[in-house]
Structure 1
């Protein structure tokens, strides 16, 4: 570099290199010579440059070791024996000299502390801690000479360690946030550096929830910040959104089910539909820390409650088959429908059903409703049962509408026999009330006559007379009430007979009798009672006597009118019962023939056919009893109807029915069908016979009414002529 001494030329150097490397020899020298030649002939050097490139390719890299000859240098190995012997001797006698001397050479970038008469040993198995945690470092000294105090160099600060005993010390660090390099010092000596490694702690910085409520609730979506415990309607869709720090994933546990959520850009999310009380926890994680910093919360679910219903039922004041309902339905959110339903059952089996929706407001929590039901629209047959109720359904859009029923009530359509018994009982009650009213009117008539006669010879009304008149007035009031009860009983009886098939003529007679009951006690009678009360208080003897005479006549008229109405009512009752029995007989004949056809075609099993025949046999027995009662009622009339007991006809029918049942017991379907058909035909004949008797009775009644009318007209004419004669005699 300083150009001192003799320098080798390129040619000389190439010769030396060629001598040491046999592969090169004179190739390098030739290349240098060609290079100088190309410089001297710059205009015609293409071939020279090509030759140089070829020489360069031949001068490929040559290993250096080929320049050293081992054999030539073996003679110098004897000079290494002396230094190697010295090194080996030191290694045996004092190895620390070699070890410590070379240590600083190899660890050139570390501080090598001076050798102390004691050693520092950290007892902690692991100097790795999670960010934000606390750690206590336990240090132990060992050696011949131990210092009394130990300090730790923590960055730029130095702290004294807590001494436990002569050889043990500890140092606590709170809320570690980053890695630390610690050096312990004591007695003028320092330890090597100890590195405290801090692993990042995963953090949940923020958690929010979006609440999507079930659509039927009509509530808007809500956002909940810093979400924790929640109170939710059933079926709410919850979407949790998380913001994290130093986290790679989130462990979200819902009701014991683990869900690993991936964190991207420090954000993650999870959603679920909550239907029951739930518990959830949120645990952020990363690849370093397995410790959990979990947040656990409770979700309380408010279930959709079942709807409630209350119903009040009131019968119609006119018809016993008309019902009025009023009620109220309640729910926590709203309703989907309110229905009135009824089932018609026969032998504990539903034969038909009906449902009708009632208009209510669906988006309110309370509704009041009213409903009218005419039981006649149900068209239940005799003996069938109607069970009816109201049914309300809420608008639960999560689990489906929940239904609540009102109390199930029943109405039993009486059988034909029960209907007849009820009608007969009501008729009997009416007749008894009429008879009682007749007796009371007769009593008032006699007593009023007696009191009136007692006042003839008296100048004024005495205290005893007043008491007797007051007793009469009380009895007259009782008679008024009795007549009212008779009218009400008659109206009730008419309602009971609404379902019975009656001819137009019977309905007209029923209406006429009703009019008679309604007018049997007119307003003049009530005025008479009030007038008599006033006269008695005024002690007006003469006028009181006159009014008592009027009372006597009025009650006599009332008694006679009630007698006449009672007899008309008995006649109507007989005709109604006769018509009912004819109708029943026609229906029995139809059913008997239908059963004969079923038996013939074997459409049903033998046991079912026997049960139906037994039912018809029982119906015929009941009809036989009714006909016997009808005969007795006819005999009790003042003018009995031309009614002949059909007992022999009934017995013939019953024999055919029994024969058909016996044939069914023997599984003789053909014979049974013939007997059933014959029984049905006999029923039709008996029905026609009774209809003829009914028509004959009506004709006889019409003739009697005509005779009565003729006699009445004759009496009026006779009376008129007699009055005319009296007037002429008075003029003379």
Structure 2
């Protein structure tokens, strides 16, 4: 059954294949015939139409698409059906087509196909029916239903176009078809009708730069030449201008873009020509941004491009370019090209650090053209100039090693530093930075430089000022001022100069004193004139005004001299710092100055001026008296200070020469140790000899100035040491000449030792002189105190008599005589004090104020006695007593200080000329405390029951009676011991047995309180024993500590021995007297103070 169905399908498939083959044959005829006809139609259209390129493109598209459609319909689709691809002829449709050809089997084939789709399992009977039907159809030839010959009826569709094509090919008209088809295919090309002549453009290059004018030059070639021609393009048209036979021109102005054009002549059109317009790089904007170096402090600035632009050296310059039709840009210099960086379309950037001036041209280019700027541009670099300095350096004769400088500096941008340079030959000794304002481009400067630190030896130095600018590109450049040559003085030369200035100072002070003395005489004369006249006239006014002016000038000059003296003191300190002892002595003298007195004198002068205007003679005379006294006091104070300064200057001169001898001795000893060339060593020794000669001359001058020093120097046998030093140096020189090196060194060493011995003996001579003078001064001061005591007692007696005397009492005559006698005694005291004050700075100026009070009140008491006013005279006499007691107290304090200084000198730790001074001794304090304890014990044993009664309760009052004076003495001595202990502890600091000393100090204070409150008590004796014990323990601890310390030098031992000898001599002279050494007065009640003064005056 299956085989029967398969046969039916095969027969149907064969029919279908033949069906499509026939259709493919017919399609091929359609395709060829219609295709040829369509192709001829399109090419003929182009042949007769001669269309433009766009139309030809349309024809090409129409031709290709038309042929494609025909190919698809008549060839591709039948072929796809034949290959059973896509939609194709089905069996049912094929059965219907076969039935059309074989009507007798039409329904049978269709029914059979439908029945064959029914499953065999469904109906076997039906299946058998189908097989029967198929067998009945087998004899029918299905292929005969398709006849290839049926396609012959379409032959005209193929034959007619083919014949037409062949006719055109054979007839010679095929060229038109081929050219038309060529134009259609090459639609981009321009095809023009061939003219009987040729269009010839004479322009060699059909390329022009954008914006320029172009002239087209045309000529024709052929048999029939046109007489005119026309230019035609999309944007413009115009006629060529005939410029000659067969020569035509057409001008295109400022062409901006490509131009395609044709030329028409005699009805013919040329091919299309094209003028290629090249875009020209064109600058829209060109600016420069300049960023100068930071050190110039010039802010960044922008500028448009100019032919020349000034910029500071080292600036960063940024060129900003905006250009059109530009792909690249650059700057071309003589030796290189800098390329811009393209940021965005048309924007270019270039940055360079400019160190040198440069000329350049701007280059712009694109892919087809390069342009350069017509003129050179220039960056002019402004160089950082060298600084300029103008300076002057001068030295002052008053300050030899000080240089004053001033000047002016300038620079274009500023400075980095400035220095003052000091050179010694090729060696730079010092560079001192000077202050300047770095940002100021012009400034003045001034200052002073001290070269004392360079004054080891005198020599010539070169000094100049060097300034550096702030050049941040090339580095700081410098300029120097003119060189100033100066000579630096050595320390000795500076000292000599200061001495000469002191001499000038004292000379001028002497002249000033003479002026003051003359002014005093003139004032006295004017005062006497006013006393003898009742009224002052205008001459008196003028004379008084003149004297006031002179007095004011005197005061001002004195102040100026004080300033000059202070400057000299500072110079001394700068050259060589003084010892503490010398500073202390200077301070004592400086403390004597009383500026307040000068101001009081000036105030008094103003009052006198006012009284002179009011013509108040009585008050004027009184004020003139006051002024005379104050002027005298001022003159005396000035003379006293000058005299003390001279003594101090002498002391410094002696010390200086002693130090010089010490240094020369050390130099000689150093020469003795050297092993140099004899010639060089001899030269060095010669220098020492010259210095030694100067020292000898100075020592001789010092001896002439002070005979006491000369005497003490003679005692020390300085001449012998000097002679031996000279002889040894002479021997050394001869031995060096004879090349006896070892002997020369021995002589040099001996000479050095002689010089050192001279230095020590010179110091000893001065100390002996000072010690002797100190003792004489203390003796004088004690005598003055005794005289004051006598004066006080005598005035007291006169006061009592004055109170008892009445008017017209004959006793007044005797009182006047005694009072004037006391007045004469006061003058003696005054003369002694004035003379002593010129040697003893411990005597304060207040001493002379009290002395003046004594004199004034004595004068007033005499005047009142002459008026027989005893009561008033007694009052003035009482003032005299008070002033005398005050004066005694002040002098007592001065004596205490002198005794302390003497004791310190004699304890021998340091000389009074050397730093540090002496300090109190525990041993001396313990001995003094033991003596005081013995005195208190003796006094306690000798007391009577009534001696220590309380106030108002029988017996005597506290402190009165025979023991009051002794208690005051013991109290004063105990306070002195305590003060020494406090000073000792302060100097020792934390060293020493401070615990014991602190307890001893407290016991001393308690003992003083016992003596003040109730005299000597049993507890007092216990306290003093405790004090002695603690002092002894501390002394032992101190001795143990000193055993571990280095021994002092030989010279120091000699000085200590000298002080000890002086102390022993002093004690022998004062044997039998018990001297107390005081530091400050005790704060006592009035009675004890009076008793203390009496005791001091007696001692």
Partner in structure 2 of residue 575 of structure 1: 651
C-alpha distance 487-177 of structure 1, shift in aligned 2 (>3 A): closer
* Alignment check: 8 A CA contact 2:282 2:324 kept: yes
TM-score (norm 2): 0.44
Aligned to 1:175, the other structure's residue is in SS state coil
Q: Residue 424 of structure 1: CA displacement? A: 1.9
1:701 and 2:773 aligned: yes
Q: Which moved more, 1:165-174 or 1:508-517?
A: 165-174
1:449 and 2:531 aligned: no
* Alignment check: 8 A CA contact 1:208 1:241 kept: yes
Partner in structure 2 of residue 272 of structure 1: 352
Partner in structure 2 of residue 284 of structure 1: 364
1:153 and 2:231 aligned: yes
* Alignment check: 8 A CA contact 2:455 2:489 kept: no
C-alpha distance 445-389 of structure 1, shift in aligned 2 (>3 A): same
CA distance in 2, matches of 1:150, 1:203: 38
CA distance in 1, matches of 2:596, 2:740: 63
Partner in structure 2 of residue 719 of structure 1: 791
C-alpha distance 280-699 of structure 1, shift in aligned 2 (>3 A): same
Work out which of the residue numbers 173, 183, 195 in structure 2 matches 1:113. 195
Partner in structure 1 of residue 601 of structure 2: 525
1:692 and 2:764 aligned: yes
CA distance in 1, matches of 2:358, 2:273: 48
CA distance in 2, matches of 1:208, 1:478: 77
CA distance in 2, matches of 1:191, 1:243: 42
C-alpha distance 289-634 of structure 1, shift in aligned 2 (>3 A): same
Q: Residue 453 of structure 1: CA displacement? A: 3.6
1:155-170 paired onto structure 2 within 5 Å = 155=233, 158-164=237-243, 170=249
Partner in structure 2 of residue 484 of structure 1: 559
CA distance in 2, matches of 1:445, 1:570: 24
CA distance in 2, matches of 1:169, 1:679: 129
Work out which of the residue numbers 336, 349, 358 in structure 2 matches 1:257. 336
* Alignment check: 8 A CA contact 2:290 2:317 kept: yes
CA distance in 1, matches of 2:726, 2:221: 128
* Alignment check: 8 A CA contact 2:385 2:411 kept: yes
* Alignment length (residue pairs): 608
1:539-558 paired onto structure 2 within 5 Å = 539-558=615-634
Q: Residue 439 of structure 1: CA displacement? A: 1.6
CA distance in 2, matches of 1:255, 1:237: 20
Q: Which moved more, 1:179-188 or 1:690-699?
A: 179-188
Q: Residue 284 of structure 1: CA displacement? A: 2.7
CA distance in 2, matches of 1:196, 1:693: 126
Q: Residue 587 of structure 1: CA displacement? A: 3.5
* Alignment check: 8 A CA contact 2:422 2:431 kept: yes
* Alignment check: 8 A CA contact 1:127 1:197 kept: yes
Aligned to 2:651, the other structure's residue is in SS state helix
Q: Residue 513 of structure 1: CA displacement? A: 2.4
Aligned to 2:592, the other structure's residue is in SS state helix
Partner in structure 2 of residue 439 of structure 1: 514
1:186-265 paired onto structure 2 within 5 Å = 196-199=275-278, 201-202=280-281, 235=314, 237=316, 249-253=328-332, 256-259=335-338
Aligned to 1:497, the other structure's residue is in SS state helix
Work out which of the residue numbers 478, 501, 516 in structure 1 matches 2:592. 516
CA distance in 1, matches of 2:447, 2:330: 62
1:545-624 paired onto structure 2 within 5 Å = 545-594=621-670, 597=673, 599-600=674-675, 602=676, 616=688, 619-624=691-696
RMSD (CA atoms): 6.1
* Alignment check: 8 A CA contact 1:520 1:558 kept: no
Higher helix share: 2
Q: Residue 177 of structure 1: CA displacement? A: 4.5
1:651-670 paired onto structure 2 within 5 Å = none
Partner in structure 2 of residue 504 of structure 1: 580
Q: Residue 246 of structure 1: CA displacement? A: 6.0
CA distance in 2, matches of 1:533, 1:144: 142
CA distance in 1, matches of 2:344, 2:534: 125
Aligned to 1:498, the other structure's residue is in SS state helix
* Alignment check: 8 A CA contact 1:480 1:521 kept: no
Q: Which moved more, 1:640-649 or 1:720-729?
A: 640-649
1:173 and 2:262 aligned: no
* Alignment check: 8 A CA contact 2:191 2:271 kept: no
CA distance in 2, matches of 1:505, 1:239: 76
Q: Which moved more, 1:720-729 or 1:497-506?
A: 720-729
* Alignment check: 8 A CA contact 2:411 2:469 kept: no
Aligned to 1:350, the other structure's residue is in SS state strand
Stretches of structure 2 lacking an aligned partner (at least 5 in a row)? 1-24, 27-188, 394-398, 805-810, 812-1099
C-alpha distance 287-424 of structure 1, shift in aligned 2 (>3 A): same
Aligned to 2:231, the other structure's residue is in SS state strand
1:281-360 paired onto structure 2 within 5 Å = 281-286=361-366, 288-289=368-369, 292=372, 298-299=378-379, 349-351=427-429
Q: Which moved more, 1:378-387 or 1:171-180?
A: 378-387
1:459 and 2:534 aligned: yes
CA distance in 2, matches of 1:710, 1:245: 118
C-alpha distance 284-489 of structure 1, shift in aligned 2 (>3 A): closer
CA distance in 2, matches of 1:431, 1:560: 15
* Alignment check: 8 A CA contact 1:386 1:413 kept: no
Q: Residue 579 of structure 1: CA displacement? A: 1.6
1:42-57 paired onto structure 2 within 5 Å = none
* Alignment check: 8 A CA contact 1:657 1:676 kept: yes
C-alpha distance 647-403 of structure 1, shift in aligned 2 (>3 A): farther
* Alignment check: 8 A CA contact 1:211 1:239 kept: yes
CA distance in 2, matches of 1:372, 1:708: 53
Partner in structure 1 of residue 500 of structure 2: 425
C-alpha distance 293-652 of structure 1, shift in aligned 2 (>3 A): same
CA distance in 2, matches of 1:558, 1:264: 93
C-alpha distance 168-210 of structure 1, shift in aligned 2 (>3 A): same
* Alignment check: 8 A CA contact 2:464 2:480 kept: no
Partner in structure 1 of residue 547 of structure 2: 472
* Alignment check: 8 A CA contact 1:154 1:182 kept: yes
1:484-527 per-position Cα deviation (integer Å, ceiling 9, x unaligned)? 23322322222222123433333233222223344594454334
Aligned to 1:172, the other structure's residue is in SS state strand
C-alpha distance 322-185 of structure 1, shift in aligned 2 (>3 A): same
C-alpha distance 310-670 of structure 1, shift in aligned 2 (>3 A): same
Aligned to 1:283, the other structure's residue is in SS state strand
* Alignment check: 8 A CA contact 1:389 1:409 kept: no
Q: Residue 431 of structure 1: CA displacement? A: 1.4
Stretches of structure 1 lacking an aligned partner (at least 5 in a row)? 3-106, 314-318
* Alignment check: 8 A CA contact 1:320 1:495 kept: no
C-alpha distance 664-151 of structure 1, shift in aligned 2 (>3 A): farther
CA distance in 2, matches of 1:702, 1:547: 40
* Alignment check: 8 A CA contact 2:468 2:478 kept: yes
1:495 and 2:573 aligned: no
CA distance in 2, matches of 1:621, 1:435: 31
CA distance in 2, matches of 1:479, 1:550: 17
* Alignment check: 8 A CA contact 2:328 2:365 kept: yes
Aligned to 1:136, the other structure's residue is in SS state strand
* Alignment check: 8 A CA contact 2:401 2:489 kept: no
TM-score (norm 1): 0.62
C-alpha distance 143-610 of structure 1, shift in aligned 2 (>3 A): farther
Q: Residue 724 of structure 1: CA displacement? A: 4.2
Q: Which moved more, 1:181-190 or 1:581-590?
A: 181-190
Larger Rg computed on CA atoms: 2
